[in-house]
Amino acid sequence: MGMMEEMMEKMVCGMSQEDRRKMMEKFFAGTTVEDKQGLMGKAMPRMMEMMPKCVEMVVPQMPKEDRVEFVVGIIPLLMEKARTGMSEDEQRDLKARVAEKL
């Protein structure tokens, strides 16, 4: 990863939700809905790639109690969203695969 990408990751991962929202408003100012949808479609794979790296960098720096609350909140959310559109068998397979990692 290049130095610029590393700096961007650190900057975005350390921002508050409100600061990220403001940054996105400025970034998208003057663009059409179609432009935004196109940009987001292109950005999604990169965001998904960066998410584990952000977690890896930020979570260890959090106070223990906050880390626990983060994990307790994010895992059920990820499981819920991942199951969307899956059959019962696919959901069982997902749950088993996640359980293997724990």
Instruction: Taking residues 10-25, report their average pLDDT.
Output: 76
pTM: 0.57
Question: What is the percent of the chain where pLDDT is above 90?
Answer: 36
Radius of gyration of the chain (CA): 17
Tens digits of residue pLDDT in 49-91: 888 888 888 889 889 999 999 999 999 999 999 999 999 999 9
**Going by C-beta distance under 8 Å and a sequence separation of 6 or more, which residues neighbour residue 98?**
79
Q: What residue type is 72 in one-letter code?
A: V
Domain boundaries, the chain: 1-60, 62-102
